[in-house]
């Protein structure tokens, strides 16, 4: 029955000039046919299905790209056995994950062990529901979108803990603790950088933020936040925090293979490990999506005359760039030590984010100044702060004896 | 709407009971998170969107981890409690709680609140921000100060004596 | 020069300064302390003698120094001297150097001994020249405290008991007196003796007291009178209040007991003459008979008790109570109410003159006796029992001769100073209160008895082998004692020397009595 | 529609459960959890009253809850720090044993 | 106012100066001391004789001539105290007697005190005594008299106790002084009363004197509460002084003991002069004593007392003298009895007779004492007559003079002065209107006197030498005294004989001289019936006494010292009583002396117990209060406070269990409270 509805509304869509509209109109036509109460349920089910399909595929592609990318970085071809140029590798992985035996340690806390992957993935899924993929293509337009995103984002720490603890394994618990400490530490700079954007835009809803980034300076430079001094600094802080948040590359200490086997994932195998893996990638996609909406103008085209391209393509293009950056970082940067990681978060990122808010405030109140002067002053401030922090950061890099605070 | 309320209410009550009765502390925390999350859902149901998300962010995000850390640090997690779960005079405690709730419920039922459901008041984030920054700016500052103090206090209290310097 | 304005204050302060100078000396300089002590006391003696010769007998109160001290409570720094005060000051000035000459303290703190002595002298000078109750009372107490310490620190075996008893007895008395004078101040608003005397004479004092205290006429003044009387009676030991005296005099070191008996007991009599008589003539007359009975008992009882003593010092102590009894007899007799015939004034004047003379003579003879006993005790190593000696005349004839003269003077042998005073007192009191005089004459007999017993037991009879080695008086000691003995003879033969000075004062007193 | 009383009853129930747990469980952390429940019951009340009887101050209820959540978070942090400190001292979190204040 | 009367004060002052100088001189200047003393006494004697002669030639215009000179001593209120000296026949006679006898005794004592160590001090005291006695005699004021009286007492004390190392001497001296002091105290009271009454103590002061008519009449008229005239009362008091000094009955005990002193002392003081002072005093204040309300007809009570006391003393002392064994004690008792005679004479109104007897007695009693002194000196300080005997062989001169003295004393008629004076006394006693008692007592006394004197002479001079050391030892034999001692004896012996002639009834020069009448020869008087009868009666008495004495002691003188006295064999009990001197001393010792000491004990006991006791009571009371305070503090406050604190603590304990750290308990309480609150608010009904 749904297939029929799709087909009938197709010509509608073609008529519209804008492909975004096309998708929305499609959904509405499907839902339109349904009796009263069920309409809402079905429409939300449709959005959910679309999201899962899109991101599931993206996940598979991402694993492939990652493995191929890493290979290329490490001057090796990467998986090319399954399908042409290894394209079908993800399918193979998926089948492997499914049929592999799911080992659960005897002393493990079965319920918590089982729930952990779920609690990790579910919130990330919820996070997708609020990101505007295209013009009008936002699953739920909450006016407290950012708050919702972080609220559900916070649940991931709990899941990591449950995973680490339920296995009743010292190393997994230690890994979980490290992960939680890292995620909490980096959540604050993350939130503070988003606060700068929210402060400048004046609204928590992501749609508003993207809308605020429409238009172009002098017709050429898009009004993306990144091109504002505070925007750039905010983007840098946000990206570092985002990487740490999703336990990727330089900050992938918790499941650093060389140290604590797989961190809180050691007790998992089979399908649960796959779900964890999926959750991680989804987390990466969500956080990049947020970055895009906040700093890179969401689904806005970089150039005015490129407006005709459907907005969601721009969104997913930027997403791919982010994905590439992640993989690139993973291939090149060495892993950070735990105390460096913590110090960096608290002593470098957090002050930078705070100063960034300060600069944003100045930026806001110097609206009357001529463009370049205003840009220059703020940029100067940020550079000064960055240099000063760098200096203190360099100073503290001498290798002081490691002090254990809590593992007494 | 009715169904959602009842589901959430049931979830809350069951979560609460479970949190109180379950033997393992970690499970208790989890059940607590379930109740709090469903409470947040109830808030959303009641239209207080910002509060709901704040609730989730604060409780499910931070407090849960806090309690878990506390559990780990006080070595309660490894072995299941061999001894009695509740204090010897648990019956008294339950009795008093029962009495209190009984009184509350009785007073609620006896109260003359009109059953009507008025139009949900607007609680957009902008209004809340506006209110926070104008009328409630003093409490906001005070809470900010309080939280900093609480953070520093908690760190100092929890820090082992010899390090306290 | 004769009218040097602040003479009396300087006189009172010289011993005080002396005391302080000695106090500042180093501890071991016993010789220096004694030297300075003697120097200062002799200096004050010289100044008193100069005062004596420049005193105009008929001039009433002289060398008056009157400065307002504490106006709010009517306290003035009021000094003045008349016949009575002059005599007493002369006695003090004579007895204290004599006491300092006497054998010094056995051992320990010689410095503070001499400074306390000089403070005592200062106190005595102050008492005898003060005419305002306030600083009279201060000096009254100032003289008490050094005496207490002198007895306490250098006294005989039971000294602390004696000293404490002495102190508390006199203190209780002076407290009673203080309270009485508070009441007087409340009633009249002034502490000045001369003023109070005028009020007392005219009866206003009793009236003021009555309305101030609210009781009816007689009893208020009587109570105040009794208060002051108690304070003075303790000092002049009238019988019921005398228990402190024998112990104090016996236990005190020689010098102190000389001053105690020589001058301190006279303070009480001086108090009677200066305060009680002028202020409360009426009240005194009212209780005259019991007082006379008291005096007779004092005289007779003390004489009898003296006979039973074995310790020489206690005997002399009791004898001094006896002699002071005569003074009291003279005073009370003079108080008797007479219809104002001229003849009675002579009797009263005789009695009072006798009292003054008796005070002076007893001061000399009693201190001489104590000095001799002190010398004897010093030689006999602390032994002073009546039966410890015997036949000392053989070994120490000069000592025995001089002590014999002292004994006969205190006996009242005519030709020596004792007789004149007693004769006058008895002449005055016989006609005024014949039964009391008759009773007291028995005292004369008893005094003769126990003094002669002393003479017999100590000097006569076979020489006690223990004392063969006893040394007779050294030249220094002879020179020390001879002036006093000479004075005894001089006053005995020609008492007019003293009476010339005291008579006008006595006449004034008598005229006040018979207003 | 769901009447206000329903929410109130729900919050009272939640409050009762929290209280019962806090009173009967021996473990300090359980007491803390109980207290958290009670606090949330109160928040529910606020929001319920905000929803049904906004009264003069429309956003008072929400504001109140926001602040209450913030403070509850602070309180939880300090409470747990205390429990940790007590544990270090007593080597147990069993509340019955912690009666040294008796004096 | 002749020269002498205005410079009469020289007489006492010279010896006084001598004694002052001697007091200061060192012991070894013996010769100088003796010379100075005797010199001053000689000068005084000369002046006295000069004064005597002036009184003789003075114009006796009615009444007794007297010349007085007063001077002021010191002020007493608005009046001056006057003293003065007086020259009248009585003074003259006494001056002469005292200075002459004194001079002789001074000379005698130079020999007697030869070996004594304290020679100069002896003479110093003697000179002092001389001046005091002379001063006493010529005093015109009762006060000056009293002063000299006391000085005389002092010197007698010093001289009796001269040999102070002898305990008996010391005791005797003290006893003498105290006994005389008792008399003096009454005398002092008399003086005071007299002064009080008459306003002056001068005897004669141009009519204002106390012995003059105005004062006397005023005193006679006033009566004391007991009805006695004041003059009598004062007289009696003054007589007490005389009794003490002259050793009359109640106060005579000190005189026999006074013999402890050296014999010249006894002679001078306890025979001739000092004891006579009492009689002189009575003589001096005779007008006062004699003043009676009845205007002379009636005998004044005072004199009656004097007479009776005198007569009793005479007999009493005579009896005791009979049984004594010590040579000096016999003489002492004889002196007491003779003084009794003098008092008897004055008492019965025989003023002149009393004084005449005084003068004669002075001479022969001094003679007897000095004789006894040379006897003792000869017998090497032996005083017990039973150990002497047969001395007439060894000491003829002493024996002769002693015999003369004995006869004079006994009153052997005609040749010896004693007879005349005693006869005169008996005559006036006989004429006494009041009662014949004194006269008979006088006769008995005369008899006894004669008896014990003969006993003494027989014991001492007759029989053979009964020395304690046995006869054989040669050097212990008695020897005659040197000339310096015997010459005064001879002079005194002459005086004893010749003086009688002055006052014989035939030519009563002495009596007239004293009473201021013209001395006329009344030869017929001698043979007048009554006088003659009396003379015969007294001769009879004397003869009987001597006979009895010779019969008992002269015929068979005792051979051994221990031999019992013949009289004892006759009447052992009475004789024992007499030897014990009627045990008067013991009685006094038992009653008076023991009494005073007992009183002393009581007083000091009273002192210790009662006075100390009340102090101890006061201290205990104070301690009691402090103990009570501590007790209250301890049991009430502390206990109460502690228990309340404990209760508080326990209740606090209960309360604190409420807050014992059990957090859940707190929560339970809050829960319950909340429930109640809710109930109240909802159903409280508007509380």
Tokens representing C256 are 């102190």
Residue E224 contacts C, CB cutoff 8 Å: no
A377, A360 in Cβ contact below 8 A?
no
What is the residue range of B41's domain? 1-77
Say if D83 falls within a structural domain.
Answer: yes
Q: What angle do CA C363, C368, C371 make, to 5 degrees?
A: 125
Cross-chain residue pair A162–B53, CB shorter than 8 Å? no
- Each residue of E322-333: pLDDT tens digit? 888 888 888 888
What 3-state DSSP class applies to C192?
A: strand
Distance from CA of A206 to the nearest CA of B (A): 13
Residue E679 contacts B, CB cutoff 8 Å: yes
E75, E158, E599: best to mutate for the C interface, most C CBs within 10 A: E75
Say if D40 falls within a structural domain.
Answer: yes
| Cα–Cα distance for residue pair E281/E112, rounded to 1 Å | 31
Q: Identify which of E660, E662, E667 has the shortest CB distance to residue D22.
A: E667
Both B1 and B67 in one domain: the answer is: yes
What is the residue range of D46's domain? 27-94
Tokens representing C39 are 């120097």
Does the pLDDT value for residue A9 go beyond 60? Answer: no
Distance from CA of C256 to the nearest CA of E (A): 23
Which residues, numbered 105 to 134 in chain B, qualify as contacts with chain D under a Cβ-Cβ cut-off of 8 Å?
Answer: 105, 108-109, 111, 113, 115, 117-118, 120-123, 127-128, 131-132
Average pLDDT over residues C259-276: 87
Cross-chain residue pair E662–D96, CB shorter than 8 Å? yes
How high is the mean pLDDT in each 10-residue block of chain E (687 residues)? 77 89 81 87 90 78 76 84 86 88 87 82 89 89 89 89 85 88 89 84 81 79 77 87 86 86 84 83 85 65 86 89 86 89 86 86 88 84 80 84 87 82 85 84 89 86 71 63 83 85 76 74 71 84 87 77 75 82 82 85 83 81 87 83 86 76 80 87 72
CATH of the domain at B5: 1.20.120.1200
For residue E304, how many C-alpha atoms fall within 13 Å in the half-sphere facing its CB? 11
User: Chains B and D: how many Cβ contacts under 8 Å?
Assistant: 258
Residue B72 contacts A, CB cutoff 8 Å: yes
Cross-chain residue pair B100–E664, CB shorter than 8 Å? no
C238, C276 in Cβ contact below 8 A?
no
Start-end of H helices in C252-311: 254-259, 265-271, 277-279, 281-286, 288-307
E168, E198, E260, E604: best to mutate for the C interface, most C CBs within 10 A: E604
| Cα–Cα distance for residue pair C425/C431, rounded to 1 Å | 10
Cross-chain residue pair C430–E150, CB shorter than 8 Å? no
Say if B106 falls within a structural domain.
Answer: no
Chain D hits for E651, CB-CB cut-off 8 Å, are none
Chain D hits for B81, CB-CB cut-off 8 Å, are 27
Confidence of residue A1 (pLDDT cuts 50, 70, 90): very low
C79, C69 in Cβ contact below 8 A?
no
Kindly list the partner chains of chain D, i.e. chains with 3 or more CB atom pairs below 8 Å: B, E
- Each residue of B46-84: pLDDT tens digit? 888 888 888 888 898 888 888 988 888 887 765 555 556
Residue E682 contacts B, CB cutoff 8 Å: yes
Average pLDDT over residues C429-440: 86
| Cα–Cα distance for residue pair A256/A251, rounded to 1 Å | 9
Distance from CA of B112 to the nearest CA of E (A): 11
**Burial bucket for residue E208 (CB in 10 Å: 0-12, 13-18, 19+):** middle
Kindly list the partner chains of chain A, i.e. chains with 3 or more CB atom pairs below 8 Å: B
| Cα–Cα distance for residue pair C137/C143, rounded to 1 Å | 10
DSSP character for E554?
I
Instruction: Quote the pLDDT of residue E257.
Output: 86
- Each residue of C141-184: pLDDT tens digit? 888 888 888 888 887 788 888 888 888 888 888 899 898 888 88
Average pLDDT over chain A, rounded to whole? 83
B132, B50 in Cβ contact below 8 A?
no
- Each residue of B81-103: pLDDT tens digit? 555 666 667 788 888 889 989 98
E260, E172 in Cβ contact below 8 A?
yes
C74, C84 in Cβ contact below 8 A?
no
C128, C85 in Cβ contact below 8 A?
yes
Both B8 and B65 in one domain: the answer is: yes
E662, E664, E667, E670: best to mutate for the B interface, most B CBs within 10 A: E664
| Cα–Cα distance for residue pair B9/B28, rounded to 1 Å | 18
Tokens representing E685 are 């009904």
Cross-chain residue pair D33–B67, CB shorter than 8 Å? yes
B57, D73 in Cβ contact below 8 A?
no
| Cα–Cα distance for residue pair E453/E580, rounded to 1 Å | 19
Which residues, numbered 27 to 46 in chain B, qualify as contacts with chain D under a Cβ-Cβ cut-off of 8 Å?
Answer: 28-29, 32, 35-36, 39, 42-43, 46
Pick the closest to residue A325 from A277, A274, A291, A278 (CA basis).
A291
Strands C62-70 and C75-81: antiparallel
What domain count does chain B have? 2
Say if B95 falls within a structural domain.
Answer: no
E129, E274 in Cβ contact below 8 A?
yes
Say if D52 falls within a structural domain.
Answer: yes
From residue C362, how far is each of C319, C366, C410, E622 by CA, in Å?
Answer: 10, 6, 7, 37
| Cα–Cα distance for residue pair D25/D94, rounded to 1 Å | 9
B41, B74 in Cβ contact below 8 A?
no
Residue E607 contacts C, CB cutoff 8 Å: yes
Chain E hits for D100, CB-CB cut-off 8 Å, are 661
Say if D1 falls within a structural domain.
Answer: no
DSSP character for E429?
H
Percentage with pLDDT > 90 across chain E = 1
Pick the closest to residue C18 from C38, C4, C48, C3 (CA basis).
C38
Cross-chain residue pair B117–D3, CB shorter than 8 Å? yes
Residue in chain A nearest B69 by alpha carbon: A177
Report which listed range, A63-72, C25-34, E462-471, is most confident: A63-72
B44 alpha carbon, distance to own chain's centre = 16
Distance from CA of B161 to the nearest CA of A (A): 12
From residue B85, how far is each of A107, B31, D29, D91 by CA, in Å?
Answer: 21, 17, 13, 18
Say if D12 falls within a structural domain.
Answer: no
Residue in chain B nearest A179 by alpha carbon: B65
Which residues, numbered 646 to 675 in chain E, qualify as contacts with chain B under a Cβ-Cβ cut-off of 8 Å?
Answer: 664, 667-668, 671-672, 674-675
Cross-chain residue pair E660–D102, CB shorter than 8 Å? yes
Does the pLDDT value for residue C224 go beyond 80? Answer: yes
Q: Which residues sit opposite D25 in a β-bridge?
A: B86
What 3-state DSSP class applies to C29?
A: coil
Cross-chain residue pair E76–C437, CB shorter than 8 Å? no
Angle between helices C193-202 and C159-188 (to 10 degrees): 60
Pick the closest to residue E190 from A150, C441, C402, C275 (CA basis).
C441
Q: Which residues sit opposite E202 in a β-bridge?
A: E141
Say if D90 falls within a structural domain.
Answer: yes
HEC readout, chain B: CHHHHHHHHHHHHHHHHHHHHCCCHHHHHHHHHHHHHHHHHHHHHCCCHHHHHHHHHHHHHHHHHHHHHHHHHCCCCCCCCCCCCECCCHHHHHHHHHHHHHHHHHHHHHCCCCCCCCCCCCCCHHHHHHHHHCCCHHHHHHHHHHHHHHHHHHHHHHCCHHHHC
Confidence of residue A299 (pLDDT cuts 50, 70, 90): confident
Cross-chain residue pair D63–B96, CB shorter than 8 Å? no
Distance from CA of E531 to the nearest CA of C (A): 46
Start-end of H helices in A301-370: 311-332, 338-343, 350-365
- Each residue of E673-687: pLDDT tens digit? 888 888 888 887 765
Count of other CB atoms within 10 angstroms of residue A43 = 17
User: What is the end-to-end Cα distance of chain A in Å, rounded?
Assistant: 64
Cross-chain residue pair E662–D31, CB shorter than 8 Å? no
Q: Which residues of C132-148 are buried (b: 16+ CB within 10 A; e: fewer)?
A: bbbbbbebbebbbebbb
Cross-chain residue pair D80–B70, CB shorter than 8 Å? yes
Pick the closest to residue E577 from E329, E236, E323, E375 (CA basis).
E323
B116, B133, B150: best to mutate for the D interface, most D CBs within 10 A: B150
Chains B and A touch (3+ CB pairs under 8 A): yes
Say what the ipTM of the complex is. 0.54
pTM of the model: 0.66
Instruction: Quote the pLDDT of residue B11.
Output: 92
Cross-chain residue pair B35–D50, CB shorter than 8 Å? no
Say if D7 falls within a structural domain.
Answer: no
Farthest-apart Cα atoms in chain B, separation: 61
Residue E483 contacts B, CB cutoff 8 Å: no
E10, E87 in Cβ contact below 8 A?
no
Residue B125 contacts A, CB cutoff 8 Å: yes
Q: What DSSP assignment string belongs to A196-252?
A: HHHHHHT-S-HHHHHHHT-SEETTTEE--GGGSHHHHHHHHHHHHHHHHHTT-GGG-
Does the pLDDT value for residue B155 go beyond 50? Answer: yes
| Cα–Cα distance for residue pair C421/C439, rounded to 1 Å | 17
Both B6 and B71 in one domain: the answer is: yes
For residue A35, what is the enclosing H or E element?
none
Residue C486 contacts E, CB cutoff 8 Å: no
At CB < 8 Å, which residues of chain A contact B?
109, 111-112, 115, 142-144, 147-148, 150-155, 157-158, 161-162, 165, 173, 177, 180, 184, 203-205, 405-406, 408
Average pLDDT over chain E, rounded to whole? 83
Which residues, numbered 52 to 81 in chain B, qualify as contacts with chain D under a Cβ-Cβ cut-off of 8 Å?
Answer: 54-55, 58-59, 62-63, 66-67, 69-71, 73-76, 81
Pick the closest to residue B51 from D11, D48, A139 (CA basis).
D48
Kindly list the partner chains of chain C, i.e. chains with 3 or more CB atom pairs below 8 Å: E
What domain count does chain D have? 1
B34 alpha carbon, distance to own chain's centre = 10
Which residues, numbered 204 to 243 in chain C, qualify as contacts with chain E under a Cβ-Cβ cut-off of 8 Å?
Answer: 242-243
Farthest-apart Cα atoms in chain C, separation: 72
Rounded to 5 degrees, φ, ψ at E382 are -90, 130
What 3-state DSSP class applies to E33?
A: helix
From residue E438, how far is each of A390, E296, E297, E429, E444 by CA, in Å?
Answer: 158, 21, 20, 6, 10
Residue in chain B nearest A178 by alpha carbon: B69
Residue in chain B nearest A155 by alpha carbon: B61
For residue C435, how many C-alpha atoms fall within 13 Å in the half-sphere facing its CB? 9
Distance from CA of E155 to the nearest CA of C (A): 12
For residue E275, what is the enclosing H or E element?
helix E274-284
| Residue whose entry in the numeric block shows the structure tokens 């005369």 | E446
């Amino acid at each position: 029955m749904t297939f029929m509805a799709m087909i009938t509304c197709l010509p509608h869509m073609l008529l519209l000039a804008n492909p975004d509209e096309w998708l929305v109109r499609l959904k509405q036509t499907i839902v339109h046919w349904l009796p009263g109460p069920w309409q809402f349920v079905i429409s939300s089910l449709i959005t959910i299905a679309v999201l899962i399909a899109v991101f599931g595929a993206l996940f598979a592609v991402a694993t492939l790209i990652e493995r191929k990318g890493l290979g290329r970085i490490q001057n090796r071809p990467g998986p090319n056995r399954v399908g042409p140029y290894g394209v079908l590798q993800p399918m193979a992985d998926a089948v492997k994950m499914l049929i592999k035996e799911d080992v659960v340690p005897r002393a493990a806390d079965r319920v918590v062990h089982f729930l952990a992957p779920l609690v990790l993935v579910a919130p990330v899924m919820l996070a997708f529901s609020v990101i505007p993929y295209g013009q009008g293509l936002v699953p739920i337009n909450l006016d407290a979108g950012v708050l919702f995103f972080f609220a559900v984002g916070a649940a991931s720490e709990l899941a990591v803990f449950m995973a680490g603890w339920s296995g009743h394994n010292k190393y997994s618990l230690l890994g979980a603790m490290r992960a939680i400490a890292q995620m909490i530490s980096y959540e604050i700079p993350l939130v503070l950088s988003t606060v700068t954007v929210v402060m400048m835009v004046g609204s928590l809803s992501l749609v508003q933020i993207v809308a605020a980034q429409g238009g172009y300076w002098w017709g050429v430079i898009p009004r993306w936040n990144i091109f504002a001094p505070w925007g750039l600094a905010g983007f840098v802080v946000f990206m570092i925090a985002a990487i740490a948040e999703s336990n990727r590359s330089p900050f992938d200490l918790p499941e650093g293979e060389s140290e604590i086997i797989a961190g809180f994932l050691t007790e998992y195998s089979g399908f649960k490990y796959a779900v964890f893996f999926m959750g991680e990638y989804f987390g990466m996609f969500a956080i990049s999506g947020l970055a895009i909406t906040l700093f890179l103008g969401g689904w806005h085209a970089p150039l005015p005359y490129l407006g005709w391209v459907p907005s969601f393509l721009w969104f997913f293009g930027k997403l791919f760039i982010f994905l590439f950056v992640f993989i690139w970082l993973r291939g090149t940067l060495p892993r950070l030590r735990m105390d460096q990681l913590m110090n960096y978060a608290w002593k470098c990122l957090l002050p930078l984010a705070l100063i960034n808010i300060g600069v944003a405030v100045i930026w806001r109140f110097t609206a009357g100044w001529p463009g370049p002067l205003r840009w220059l002053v703020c940029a100067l401030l940020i550079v000064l702060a960055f240099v000063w922090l760098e200096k203190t950061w360099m100073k503290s890099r001498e290798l002081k004896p490691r002090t254990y605070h809590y593992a007494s | 709407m009715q169904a959602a309320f009842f589901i959430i209410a049931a979830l809350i009550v069951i979560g609460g009971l479970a949190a109180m009765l379950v033997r393992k502390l970690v499970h208790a925390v989890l059940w607590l998170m379930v109740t709090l999350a469903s409470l947040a859902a109830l808030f959303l149901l009641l239209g207080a969107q910002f509060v709901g998300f704040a609730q989730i962010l604060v409780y499910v995000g931070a407090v849960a981890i806090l309690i878990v850390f506390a559990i780990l640090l006080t070595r309660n997690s490894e072995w299941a409690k061999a001894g009695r779960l509740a204090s010897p005079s648990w019956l008294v405690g339950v009795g008093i709680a029962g009495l209190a709730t009984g009184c509350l419920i009785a007073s609620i039922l006896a109260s003359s609140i009109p059953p009507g459901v008025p139009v949900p008041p607007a609680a957009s984030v902008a209004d809340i921000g506006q209110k926070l920054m104008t009328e409630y700016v003093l409490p906001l500052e005070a809470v900010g100060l309080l939280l900093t103090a609480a953070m520093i206090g908690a760190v100092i209290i929890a820090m082992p004596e010899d390090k306290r310097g | 020069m004769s009218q040097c304005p602040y003479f009396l204050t300087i006189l009172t302060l010289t011993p005080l300064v002396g005391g302080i100078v000695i106090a500042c000396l180093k501890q071991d300089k016993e010789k220096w302390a004694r030297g300075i002590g003697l120097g200062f006391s002799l200096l004050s003696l010289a100044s008193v003698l100069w005062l004596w010769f420049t005193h105009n007998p008929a001039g009433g109160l002289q060398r008056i120094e009157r400065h307002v001290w504490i106006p709010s409570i009517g306290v003035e720094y009021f000094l003045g001297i008349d016949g009575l005060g002059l005599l007493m000051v002369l006695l003090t000035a004579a007895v204290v150097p004599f006491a300092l000459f006497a054998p010094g303290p056995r051992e320990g703190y010689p410095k503070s001994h001499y400074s306390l002595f000089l403070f005592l002298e200062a106190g005595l000078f102050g008492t005898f020249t003060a005419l305002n109750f306030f600083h009279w009372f201060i000096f009254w107490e100032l003289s008490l405290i050094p005496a207490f310490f002198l007895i306490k620190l250098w006294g005989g075996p039971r000294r602390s008991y004696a000293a404490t008893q002495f102190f508390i007895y006199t203190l209780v008395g002076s407290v009673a007196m203080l309270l009485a004078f508070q009441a007087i101040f409340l009633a009249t608003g002034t502490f000045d003796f001369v003023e109070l005397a005028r009020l007392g004479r005219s009866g206003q004092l009793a009236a003021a007291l009555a309305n101030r205290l609210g009781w009816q006429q007689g009893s208020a003044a009587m109570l105040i009178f009794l208060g002051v009387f108690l304070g003075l009676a303790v000092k002049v030991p009238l019988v019921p209040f005398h228990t402190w005296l024998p112990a104090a005099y016996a236990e005190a070191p020689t010098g102190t007991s000389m001053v105690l008996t020589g001058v301190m007991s006279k303070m009480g009599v001086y108090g009677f003459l200066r305060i009680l008589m002028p202020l409360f003539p009426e009240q005194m007359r009212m209780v005259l008979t019991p007082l006379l009975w008291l005096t007779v008992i004092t005289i007779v009882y003390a004489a009898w008790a003296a006979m039973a003593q074995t310790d020489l010092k206690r005997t002399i102590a009791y004898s001094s109570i006896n002699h002071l009894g005569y003074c009291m007899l003279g005073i009370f007799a003079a108080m008797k109410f007479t219809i104002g015939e001229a003849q009675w004034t002579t009797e009263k004047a005789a009695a009072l003159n006798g009292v003054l003379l008796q005070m002076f003579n007893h001061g000399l003879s009693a201190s001489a006796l104590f000095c001799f006993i002190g010398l004897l005790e010093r030689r006999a190593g602390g032994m002073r029992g009546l039966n410890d000696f015997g036949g000392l005349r053989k070994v120490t004839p000069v000592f025995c001769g001089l002590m014999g003269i002292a004994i006969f003077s205190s006996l009242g042998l005519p030709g020596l100073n004792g007789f004149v005073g007693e004769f006058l007192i008895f002449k005055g009191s016989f006609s005024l209160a014949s039964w009391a005089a008759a009773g007291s004459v028995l005292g004369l007999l008893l005094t003769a008895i126990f003094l002669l017993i002393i003479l017999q037991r100590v000097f006569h009879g076979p020489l006690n082998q223990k004392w063969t080695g006893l040394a007779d008086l050294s030249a220094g000691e002879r020179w020390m004692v001879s002036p006093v003995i000479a004075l005894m003879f001089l006053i005995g033969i020609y008492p007019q020397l003293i009476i010339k000075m005291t008579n006008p004062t006595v006449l004034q007193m008598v005229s006040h009595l018979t207003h | 529609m769901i009447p206000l009383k329903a929410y109130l009853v729900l919050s009272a129930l939640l409050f009762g459960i929290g209280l019962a747990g806090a009173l009967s469980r021996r473990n300090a952390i359980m007491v803390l959890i109980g207290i958290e429940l009670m606090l949330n019951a109160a928040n529910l009340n606020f929001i319920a009253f905000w929803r049904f009887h906004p009264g003069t101050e429309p956003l008072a209820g929400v504001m109140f809850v926001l602040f209450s959540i913030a403070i509850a978070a602070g309180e939880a942090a300090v409470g747990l720090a205390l429990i940790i400190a007590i544990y270090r001292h007593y080597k147990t979190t069993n509340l019955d044993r912690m009666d040294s204040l008796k004096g | 106012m002749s020269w002498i009367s205005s410079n009469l004060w020289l007489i006492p002052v010279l010896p006084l100066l001598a004694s002052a100088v001697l007091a200061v001189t060192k012991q070894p200047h013996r010769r100088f001391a003796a010379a100075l003393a005797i010199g001053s006494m000689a000068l005084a004697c000369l002046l006295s004789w000069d004064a005597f002669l002036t009184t003789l030639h003075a114009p006796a215009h009615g009444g007794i001539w007297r010349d007085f000179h007063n001077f002021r001593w010191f002020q007493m209120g608005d009046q001056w105290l006057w003293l003065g000296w007086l020259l009248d026949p009585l003074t003259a006679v006494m001056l002469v007697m005292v200075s002459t006898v004194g001079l002789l005794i001074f000379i005698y004592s130079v020999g007697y005190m030869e070996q004594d160590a304290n020679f100069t001090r002896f003479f110093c005291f003697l000179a002092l005594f001389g001046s005091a006695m002379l001063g006493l005699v010529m005093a015109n004021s009762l006060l000056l008299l009293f002063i000299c009286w006391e000085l005389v007492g002092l010197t007698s004390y010093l001289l009796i106790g001269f040999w102070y190392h002898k305990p008996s001497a010391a005791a005797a001296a003290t006893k003498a002084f105290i006994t005389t002091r008792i008399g003096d105290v009454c005398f002092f009271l008399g003086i005071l009363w007299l002064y009080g009454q008459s306003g002056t103590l001068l005897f004669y002061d141009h009519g204002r004197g106390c012995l003059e008519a105005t004062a006397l009449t005023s005193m006679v008229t006033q009566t004391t509460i007991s009805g006695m005239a004041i003059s009598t009362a004062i007289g009696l008091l003054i007589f007490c002084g005389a009794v003490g000094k002259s050793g009359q009955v109640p106060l005579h005990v000190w005189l026999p003991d006074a013999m402890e002193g050296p014999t010249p002392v006894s002679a001078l003081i306890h025979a001739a002069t000092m004891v006579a002072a009492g009689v002189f005093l009575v003589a001096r204040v005779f007008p006062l004593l004699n003043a009676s309300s009845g205007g002379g007809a009636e005998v004044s009570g005072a004199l009656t007392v004097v007479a009776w006391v005198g007569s009793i003393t005479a007999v009493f002392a005579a009896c005791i003298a009979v049984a004594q064994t010590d040579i000096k004690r016999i003489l002492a008792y004889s002196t007491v009895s003779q003084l009794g005679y003098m008092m008897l004479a004055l008492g019965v109104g025989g003023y002149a007779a009393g004084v005449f007897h005084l003068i004669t007695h002075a001479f022969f009693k001094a003679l007897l004492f000095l004789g006894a002194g040379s006897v003792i000196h000869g017998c090497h300080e032996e005083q017990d007559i039973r150990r002497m005997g047969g001395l007439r062989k060894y000491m003829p001169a002493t024996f002769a003079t002693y015999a003369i003295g004995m006869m004079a004393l006994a009153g052997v008629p005609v040749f010896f002065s004693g007879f005349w004076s005693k006869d005169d006394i008996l005559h006036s006693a006989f004429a006494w209107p009041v009662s014949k008692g004194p006269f008979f007592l006088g006769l008995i006394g005369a008899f006894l006197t004669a008896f014990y004197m003969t006993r003494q002479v027989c014991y001492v001079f007759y029989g053979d030498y009964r020395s304690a050391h046995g006869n054989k030892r040669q050097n212990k034999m008695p020897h005659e005294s040197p000339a310096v001692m015997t010459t005064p004896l001879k002079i005194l012996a002459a005086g004893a004989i010749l003086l009688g002639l002055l006052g014989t009834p035939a030519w009563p020069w002495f009596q007239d001289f004293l009473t201021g009448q013209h001395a006329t020869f009344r030869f017929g008087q001698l043979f007048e019936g009554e006088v003659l009868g009396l003379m015969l009666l007294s001769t009879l008495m004397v003869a009987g006494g001597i006979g009895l004495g010779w019969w008992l002691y002269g015929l068979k003188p005792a051979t051994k010292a221990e031999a019992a006295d013949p009289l004892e064999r006759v009447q052992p009990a009475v004789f024992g009583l007499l030897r014990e001197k009627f045990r008067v001393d013991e009685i006094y010792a038992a009653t008076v002396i023991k009494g005073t000491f007992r009183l002393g004990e009581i007083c000091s006991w009273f002192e210790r117990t009662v006075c100390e006791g009340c102090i101890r009571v006061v201290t205990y009371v104070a301690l009691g209060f402090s103990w009570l305070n501590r007790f209250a503090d301890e049991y009430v406050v502390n206990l109460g406070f502690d228990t309340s604190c404990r209760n508080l603590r326990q209740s606090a304990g209960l309360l604190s269990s409420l807050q014992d750290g059990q957090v859940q308990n707190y929560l339970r309480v809050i829960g319950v409270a909340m429930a109640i609150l809710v109930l109240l608010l909802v159903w409280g009904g508007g509380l």
